[in-house]
C-alpha cells in the first residue's frame, strides 16, 4: 500500500470545510476494520484512509501547517499503513473505571506480545509490538499498542482461496478469541494484502 505524502493531505482550511463528510466516510470505513476481542480489547486494523484521517486530525488539532511539522506527522504515522504482506493494528485496552484500569493494566503486562492471527490450517502469527517506542514500564502496560502481523505468501494465498481467519489474545490474564472473523472484516483485511 502506498505511503502518504504531503500531496495526499488537505490544507487546513479545506479540511475544515470537508471534515464532517470526510469523518463520516472514515467512520463508515472503520466499521469493517474493527473487532472486539473479549470485553476489554478492541483491534483497529489501520490502512491508508484511517492513517490519513489520523494525520489530518493531528494537523488540525495541533494547527500544524509548516512543511517540517507536516513531514514529521507523515513520518510518525506512515509506518501504520500495511505493506501488502502484513496487517497493522491499533490495540486498545478499555476499562472505563480508573481503578480497574490501573489494576488490569498492571496484570496485563506483555499482552501486546500475546496477540495473534491465524489463517485456517496454518500456524498462529504473533504480533510484533510497539516498534516505535516501548509502551510498557515496570508497573504496567499501556492502554494503547501498535501491532504488526507478518503473513507468509502461503497464508495470503490461503486467504485469497477462501481460508478462514481467526484472531485472539493468549495472555495469562486475558484469553479471548474471535474464532471466525466476520466476512466484512475479512474482505477489508484481504484488500490490504497485495
Q: Do 86 and 108 have their domain in common?
A: yes
Q: Do 74 and 141 have their domain in common?
A: no
Q: Do 100 and 13 have their domain in common?
A: no
Q: Do 96 and 76 have their domain in common?
A: no
The per-residue pLDDT for 1 is: 61
- Higher per-residue pLDDT: 130 or 29: 29
Write phi, then psi, for 167 (nearest 5 degrees): -155, 165
Which is nearest to 6 in space by CA: 62, 64, 87, 45?
Answer: 64
What rounded mean pLDDT belongs to the chain?
94
pLDDT in tens, 56-99: 999 999 999 899 999 999 999 999 999 999 999 999 999 999 99
Does the pTM of the predicted model rise above 0.75?
yes
Is the model's pLDDT at 191 over the cut of 80?
yes
CA distance 3 to 78: 6
Q: Do 94 and 3 have their domain in common?
A: no
Q: What percent of the chain has pLDDT over 90?
A: 91
Strands (E), the chain: 34-36, 41-45, 86-93, 115-119, 125-126, 128-129, 144-150, 165-171, 174-178
Three cell numbers written together for 143 = 492502554
What CATH number is attached to the domain comprising 141?
A: 2.60.40
Q: Do 98 and 138 have their domain in common?
A: yes
- pLDDT-based confidence at 27, cuts 50/70/90? very high
CA distance 30 to 45: 8
Could you give the C-alpha distances from 183 to 121, 165, 179, 188, in angstroms and in order? Answer: 18, 9, 12, 9
Q: Do 69 and 157 have their domain in common?
A: no
Q: Do 61 and 152 have their domain in common?
A: no
Q: Do 24 and 111 have their domain in common?
A: no
CA distance 45 to 24: 17
Q: Do 55 and 102 have their domain in common?
A: no
pLDDT in tens, 145-166: 999 999 999 999 999 999 999 9
Q: Pick from 81, 106, 139: which residue ends a domain?
A: 81
Which is nearest to 93 in space by CA: 136, 130, 145, 138?
Answer: 145
Could you give the C-alpha distances from 78 to 10, 25, 86, 98, in angstroms and in order? Answer: 16, 20, 14, 32
Q: Do 103 and 64 have their domain in common?
A: no
Q: Do 122 and 176 have their domain in common?
A: yes
Domain assignment of residue 127, given as a range: 33-46+82-194
Is the model's pLDDT at 15 over the cut of 90?
yes
Report the domain count for the chain: 2
The per-residue pLDDT for 78 is: 95
Is the model's pLDDT at 133 over the cut of 80?
no
Contact (Cβ atoms closer than 8 angstroms) between residue 116 and residue 171: no
The per-residue pLDDT for 194 is: 81
Amino acid at each position: 500500500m502506498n505511503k502518504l505524502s504531503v500531496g495526499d493531505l488537505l490544507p487546513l482550511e479545506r479540511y475544515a470545510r470537508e471534515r464532517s463528510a470526510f469523518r463520516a466516510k472514515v467512520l463508515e470505513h472503520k466499521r469493517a476494520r474493527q473487532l472486539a476481542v473479549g470485553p476489554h480489547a478492541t483491534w483497529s486494523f489501520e490502512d491508508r484512509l484511517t492513517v490519513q484521517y489520523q494525520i489530518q486530525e493531528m494537523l488540525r488539532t495541533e494547527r500544524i501547517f509548516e512543511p517540517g511539522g507536516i513531514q514529521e506527522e507523515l513520518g510518525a504515522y506512515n509506518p501504520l499503513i500495511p505493506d501488502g504482506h502484513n496487517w497493522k493494528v491499533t490495540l486498545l485496552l478499555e476499562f472505563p473505571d480508573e481503578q480497574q484500569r490501573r489494576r488490569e493494566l498492571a496484570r496485563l503486562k506483555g499482552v501486546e506480545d500475546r496477540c495473534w492471527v491465524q489463517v485456517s490450517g496454518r500456524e498462529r502469527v504473533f504480533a510484533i509490538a510497539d516498534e516505535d517506542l516501548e509502551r510498557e514500564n515496570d508497573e504496567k502496560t499501556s492502554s494503547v499498542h501498535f501491532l504488526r502481523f507478518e503473513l507468509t505468501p502461503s497464508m495470503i494465498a490461503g486467504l485469497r482461496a477462501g481460508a478462514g481467519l481467526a484472531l485472539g489474545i493468549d495472555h495469562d490474564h486475558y484469553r479471548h478469541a474471535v474464532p471466525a472473523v466476520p466476512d466484512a472484516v475479512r474482505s477489508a483485511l484481504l484488500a490490504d494484502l497485495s
